[in-house]
Structure 1
Amino acid sequence: MLQPIVEGNLVSFEEKVYRVSACGADGTVTLKSLETEHSFDVPFTQVTLVEIDEDKYRIHNDRRLIWMEQTDVNPKELAIASERSKNINEYLQGTISRQQLVEKIGASETTTRRLLKRFDPELGAVSLVRSIRGRKKNSRLLSDIQEKIMEKAISKRLKDKTKKLEAFTSLWEYVDSLCHTMGVKTPSINALKKRLDSFGEKAIYSLRNGREAMLQKFDLKPGMIDVDTILTMVQIDHTRVDVIIRDEHGRPLMRPWLTVVIDLKSRVILGYYLALHPPSAVSVAMAMLSACFPKQDFPIALGGGLNTRHRFWGVPRALGMDNAAEFTSPELEANLQYYNIEPLLRPIGKKHYGGHVERIIGTLMGKVHLLPGTTYSNVLKKADYDAAKHSAMTFSAFCEWFAGEVAIYHGRSHEGLNRLAPFEVWDAEMAKKGKDYIQPMPGNFRTFALDFFPSVIRTVQPKGVEFSRSFYSSAILKRLVGQRLSFKYNPLNLSKIWLRQDGRYHEVPYSDLTKTPISYSEYWAFARPRDRRPGMLVDEELHQVRLDNYELVESSKAATKRLRQNVAKKITAAETMSFLTYSGEGSSLQLSTKEPSADQTRKKLNWEG
């Protein structure tokens, strides 16, 4: 977790250093000049904590870098570090004894003592992760054919439901035989083991021990998280909004998407993200940013904007979600664990585990069904209503309407809350924490945001980096031409991307500085034709030209085949006649190429009876 801002800290704001004299419950900090008595209030998202202890900052940054680098390389290391951090916290709080700690860690007393000395409460599990050794992540020295052989063997075994992976050796023997028959050197057992692990622990465990055993081992058990107060656990989910919005010219456009994060204790909508593109890692990142920070400076699509009544924010302790691809990515899991947010996946096929967020989405969609252009929830309710014809709201208008409905929702009594409103439960829980309690404010909002922002892999070209049909360039890319690197981007503003190197982010702006910035939603909905795929014929008449070309090729092939067959027949016939017509002396045969005369070919008929 990033070090929080507290009273007395030095922070940087607009390239000047100030001292924090107070922190407000609304997410603002009071800054005081170091030279005069002047003071003023700003949102903490606009300031960056100034680290006085450079050694400590370097250690924190190095550990953060190691954690991020371990995301794909060794997920077991992350799991071990997280479990040890949890055990050490229990020991420090007096919940378990020293002997119980040693047993839970599964190490010697000396190792336990070393882990306690290395443990940093601010970093949590990050301080316990072991340094990366050997080659960098994702580096593979095997040939492509070796990789394909192993992938084929593993895929075949995993798809074979009649067999269990009772002996890993049998799988390696299968790979060994494939390699020998193809004249390829057999990979080592360790190499095959790493490839097998990349297919996922759940799938492999299920095949080895059966589905029920897998559910017992990996299933989320009721009661694991005691929702005793706000921000103990939140849930996140997506839905497609039941209304068609229009574009700026009055034409029907599409149905937008909603990603929402709710607090289970208070039922407060902690954050949300409205977009035109389908759910993805982008949606998860933006919804989490909306949930974790005050909304004053956020656009209305994130629950912010001018005159917002959304005052709820905070970093949760656990995040409940389903098993969609955007929720199960190693990058998201690493980010959540780094910021001490425990990821809790919903058991497959058990939707009731996400019942709270599903009910809130249903409540919000009930309000949407009153809008012009609604598609309703099913065809029976929709009947003959033409949603596209009646669409009347633009995306920006819908975002503003939705923000108002969220405010109304927070102020309405709920049966499930003993007829209290969500804001009343939230305020009551905040009061329990202390009269002047203020939420912890992370000291570097920019780093937090960039860590959660989605990433793309791009090759650095001589012209720069191409993304969203635009080129980005910066001096830092000069020595990286030809390399394939990971870049972060802000879905709300695609005017710049960020390259992460050595744990720090480097800004890479548009190559064309006159280009108008757009959002990812605008790019997805407007900057590219939504009804076209790459290579699609735009001119309908060209489909017949394509068919004519196919027919021309086929007829040419058939004509050529017939011509070659006729030539072959003539050559065969000529050779046969040449062999049968010959002249010779003695026993020697000499082929004659002399053509027979007309008299020689004429047969005499016997008319005499």
Structure 2
Amino acid sequence: MLKPIVEGNLVSFEEKVYRVIACRADGAITLKSLESEHSFDVLFTQVNLVEVDQEKHELYNDRRLIWLEQTEVNPKELAIASDRAKKINDYFQGKVSRAELIEKLGSSETTTRRLLKRYDPELGAVSLVRSIRGRKKNSRLLSDIQEKIMEKAISKRLNDKTKKLEAFASLWEYVDSLCHTMGVKTPSLNALKRRLESFGQKAVYSLLHGREPMLQKFELKPGMIHVDTILTMVQIDHTRVDVIICDEHGRPLMRPWLTVVIDLKSRVILGYYLALHPPSALSVAMAMLSACFPKQAFPIALGGGQNTRHRFWGVPGAIGMDNAAEFTSPELEATLQYYKIVPMLRPIGKKHYGGHVERIIGTLMGKVHLLPGTTYSNVLKKADYDSAKHSAMTFSAFCEWFANEVAIYHGRAHEGLNRLAPFEVWDAEMAKKGLDYVPPMPGNFQTFALDFFPSVLRTVQSKGVELSRSFYSSAILSRFVGSRLSFKYNPLNLSKIWLRQDGRYHEIPYSDLTKTPVSYSEYWAFSRPRARRPGTLVDKELHQVRLENHELVENSKATTKRLRQNVAKKATAAETMSFLSYGGEELLLQGNTKEPSSDQTRKKLKWED
């Protein structure tokens, strides 16, 4: 017969053990956690009884605890217990008599009887360890109010997801303030540390480093992606490069940005885009162009050039991305779907789904940290190094250096590829597809590129279309003056834009054909920061003059208002005196006024003769 579930039983629920604290007639039972005060109700059919002899269980735990404590503080007691256990075991096996046992133990009959009663074959020597005098290890002597204060402080900080959690010292300061306001003695740092450790390793790490790093370190990371061959799936991501570049005159300029696309099967860097502007839809477009086509005709910022060592390209079947705005735009999704590239967004908060591309970025940034002008990855590593002062590489020089580092990366053995180099895996997979295999090539490169190029909405004016403080004009715009249309542009060359009409793209060049073409990076880095809005005060001292003028106007308005109020008061007083001087006072005293009816309360009063 199965034992019934009653209050005090231990039961298992969802692979955890809880204690039953209440049973109800409707079949529900209340379970309480063994680690906290949390309790909840479930049906008894959802739990399994854990059959434990409670007294024996507690004895085992107590004796094991004593054994562990003795291991740390008293090896002599352990030796005595082990020797006694061996002799008692011989007695139970019939090897020695009772008298011989008493003699070997060197104890009295009463002591021997007590030891035989205490001895447990399952615990062995542990059951014979003598209790330790003094306070037990991990015993708590603080008052209930002190324990509650520490528990409240720790729980509040661990559950606070609105900001990064403070370090342990800040937690103790918070407890210290709570105790002082409540007139309670503040617990020691060690006491608070032990209470924090009771919340688990995750809680300690979260408090010291923040919730997000804790999740990355301790959270289970399922969801590995299996790819059959190269170009099955790629991953794309951005990062700000940890180095300050300088202009052609040696003046420190800014940190460039990198957008990189990698092939998951071979770990080859399929394409990348180096730019001076922050990541956006155009960064995605340029990186995709670099990945999908041979690089010879591309500029060095996309890994190209006539002598480029970058020979890897191809249109992928799927692309893994995070949830940034430039990756989730409907325009990008439509373009990817049109070219049968499946967009795969990472689950929010699951960085490990993009682990491959992030590791490669980390590897490349490690090389960047050896360059002059590096900012390193954090302020601790940077220390007192002046990055701007030591900057020495121009953007073009950095692009060339980066292209060489990518070539070196492709030729190095990779631990994740069974010590093969990325180019070896790529070539092996290409060989499986057949001799002289060539990846599928889009039929019209210009259309493919324009489809991925970023677009902007602009109103067609009589002078043309304005973009980046330049005007573009063409005969095709004549019938669209006043209309707001979408235009495509090439971030590498802003000398022309494109309008899509009737299924094809129409080229629209600069209105000023003598204007020197610039790239979007050049415009953003050099023109935009120094641009002035119309009406900007160039002389900074005039800001004070502007404030004085504003105050002058306000004072004038207040003065004029007071003058008009005074004039109105004087006019009212004059009219009153004039009325009284012509007998108005007598009329009022005689009551010769006509009372207005209830429906004439809003009408002007009329005096009778």
Settle same-fold status: TM greater than 0.5. yes
**What is the deviation of 1:581?**
3.1
Match of 1:527 in 2: 527
State the Cα distance separating 1:273 from its structure 2 match: 0.3
Task: Find the counterpart in structure 2 of residue 357 from structure 1.
Answer: 357
Q: Within 5 Å, which residues of 2 pair with 1:326-365? A: 326-365=326-365
Counterpart of 1:383 in structure 2 is: 383
Deviation at 1:587, TM superposition (A): 6.1
1:441 is aligned with what amino acid? M
Answering whether residue 486 of structure 2 is matched by residue 479 of structure 1, we say no
CA deviation after TM superposition for structure 1 residue 232, in Å: 0.8
Q: CA deviation at 1:298?
A: 0.5
Deviation at 1:400, TM superposition (A): 0.5
Change (3 A) 1:378 1:337: same
**Secondary structure of 1:583's match?**
helix
Matches within 5 A, 1:108-507: 226-507=226-507
Instruction: Name the SS of the counterpart of 2:326 in structure 1.
Output: helix
Contact persistence 1:460–1:485 (CA under 8 A): yes
Secondary structure, aligned partner of 1:328: coil
Distance 1:586 1:244, change over 3 A: closer
Cα distance in 2 between the residues matched to 1:415 and 1:536: 57
- Code of the aligned partner of 2:555: S
- In the alignment, residue 496 of structure 1 is paired with which amino acid? K
Deviation at 1:318, TM superposition (A): 0.5
- Asked if the contact 1:524–1:530 (Cα under 8 Å) also holds between the matched residues in 2, the reply is no
Q: Using the alignment, how far apart are the partners of 2:480 and 2:565 within structure 1?
A: 59
State the one-letter code of the partner of 2:468.
Answer: S
CA shift in 2, pair 1:534/1:383, >3 Å: farther
Q: Distance in 1 between matches of 2:391 and 2:290?
A: 28
Distance 2:442 2:281 in 1: 22
* Partner Cα separation in structure 2 for residue 530 and residue 421 of structure 1: 46
> Is the CA contact 2:224–2:353 (under 8 Å) kept in the aligned structure 1?
no
Moved more, 576-585 or 300-309: 576-585
Q: Match for residue 55 of structure 2?
A: none
Shift of 1:569: 2.1
**Range with greater deviation from structure 2 (224-233 or 311-320):** 224-233
Q: Which amino acid aligns with 1:249?
A: H
Structure 2: how far apart are the matches of 1:464 and 1:584?
Answer: 76
Deviation at 1:566? Answer: 1.4
Structure 1: state its 5+ residue gaps: 1-220, 591-609
CA distance in 2, matches of 1:339, 1:584: 95
Q: Do structure 1's residue 581 and structure 2's residue 581 form an aligned pair? A: yes
Is the Cα contact below 8 Å between 1:431 and 1:437 reproduced in 2?
A: yes
Q: Which amino acid aligns with 1:425?
A: V
The amino acid that maps onto 1:538 is: V
Which amino acid is the alignment partner of residue 409 of structure 1?
Y
CA contact (8 A) 2:298 2:305 kept: yes
Partner Cα distance (2:586, 2:566) in 1: 38
CA distance in 1, matches of 2:293, 2:390: 37
Deviation at 1:227, TM superposition (A): 0.8
Task: Using the TM superposition, give the Cα deviation of residue 223 of structure 1 relative to its aligned residue in structure 2, in angstroms.
Answer: 5.3
1:132-187 deviations in Å (ceiling 9; x for gaps): xxxxxxxxxxxxxxxxxxxxxxxxxxxxxxxxxxxxxxxxxxxxxxxxxxxxxxxx
Q: Residue 549 of structure 2 corresponds to which residue in structure 1?
A: 549
Going from structure 1 to structure 2, the CA distance change for 1:297 and 1:576 (only over 3 Å counts) comes to same
Q: Is the 8 A contact 2:223 2:353 kept in 1?
A: no
Shift of 1:224: 8.5
Is the deviation greater in 382-391 or in 535-544?
A: 535-544
Give 1:381 shift.
0.9
Larger Rg: 2
Q: Secondary structure at the match of 2:511?
A: coil
CA change 1:568–1:585 in 2 (3 A) is closer
The 1-side partners of 2:375 and 2:401 are apart by 17
Q: What displacement does 1:536 show?
A: 4.5
Between the aligned partners of 2:509 and 2:463, the Cα distance in structure 1 is 13
Question: Compared with structure 1, are the counterparts of its residues 430 and 577 closer, same or farther at alpha carbon in structure 2 (3 Å cutoff)?
Answer: same
Q: How many angstroms does 1:527 deviate by?
A: 2.2
2: CA distance, partners of 1:385 / 1:588: 93
- RMSD between aligned residues: 2.1
Higher RCO, 1 or 2 (CA under 8 Å, sep at least 6)? 1
Shift of 1:433: 1.0
Whether the 8 Å CA contact 1:225–1:233 is kept in 2: the answer is no
3-state secondary structure, aligned to 1:428: helix
Percent identical residues: 89
**Distance in 2 between residues matched to 1:586 and 1:310, nearest whole Å:** 111
Matched position secondary structure for 1:325? coil
1:470 to partner: Cα distance = 1.1
Note the 1:86-101 alignment, pairs <5 A: none
Tell me, which stretches of 5 or more residues in structure 2 are unaligned?
Answer: 1-220, 591-609
- Which residue identity lines up with residue 489 of structure 1 in the other structure? Y
Q: CA deviation at 1:530?
A: 4.8
**2 CA distance for matches of 1:230 and 1:316?**
8
DSSP 3-state at the match of 2:408: helix
Cα separation, 1, equivalents of 2:575 and 2:242? 80
Within 2, Cα distance between the matches of 1:414 and 1:484?
Answer: 51
Q: Is the 8 A contact 1:259 1:279 kept in 2?
A: yes
Shift of 1:463: 1.2
Aligned to 1:141: none
Tell whether the 8 Å contact from 1:317 to 1:340 is kept in structure 2 after alignment: yes
Alpha-carbon contact 2:271-2:313 (below 8 Å) kept: yes
Alpha-carbon distance between aligned partners in 1 of 2:584 and 2:578, rounded to the nearest angstrom: 14
Aligned mates of 2:426, 2:289 — CA distance in 1 = 19
Q: Residue 567 of structure 2 corresponds to which residue in structure 1? A: 567
Given that 1:260 and 1:273 are in contact with CA atoms closer than 8 Å, whether structure 2 keeps it comes out as yes
Tell me, yes or no, if the aligned pair for 1:582 and 1:589 is still in contact at 8 Å.
no
What secondary structure, in the 3-state scheme, does the structure 1 residue paired with 2:316 have?
coil
CA distance in 2 between partners of 1:451 and 1:336 (Å): 9
Paired residue type of 2:253: L
Equivalent position SS for 1:582: helix
Secondary structure at 2:551 match in 1: helix
Letter in 2 for 1:461: Q
| Residues 585 and 223 of structure 1: CA distance in aligned 2, closer, same or farther (over 3 Å) | closer
1:225–1:380 distance in 2 versus 1, CA, 3 Å: closer
Q: SS at 1:441's partner residue?
A: coil
Question: Is the Cα–Cα contact under 8 Å of residues 583 and 589 in structure 1 kept in the other structure?
Answer: no
Task: State how 1:53-72 maps to structure 2 within 5 Å.
Answer: none
Matched-pair contact (CA < 8 Å) for 2:284–2:326: yes
One-letter amino acid of the counterpart of residue 521, structure 1: S
Q: Conserved in 2, the CA contact under 8 Å of 1:458 and 1:465?
A: yes
Report the CA distance between 1:580 and its aligned residue: 3.6
Distance 2:418 2:497 in 1: 47
In structure 2, the CA distance between the partners of 1:515 and 1:584, relative to structure 1 (3 Å rule), is: closer
CA displacement at 1:306 relative to structure 2: 3.0
Task: Give, in angstroms, the shift of residue 575 of structure 1.
Answer: 2.9
Q: Distance in 1 between matches of 2:421 and 2:375?
A: 29
Q: Measured at CA, do residues 517 and 531 of structure 1 come closer, stay the same or move farther in structure 2, by a change above 3 Å?
A: closer
> Matches of 2:587 and 2:534 in 1, distance apart?
75
Within 1, Cα distance between the matches of 2:546 and 2:441?
62
Amino acid at match of 2:232: T
Q: Secondary structure at the match of 2:284?
A: helix
How far off is 1:379 after superposition?
Answer: 0.8
2:443 alignment partner AA:
G
Deviations along 1:313-363, one digit per CA (max 9) or x if unpaired, are 000000110111111111100000000100011111111111111111111
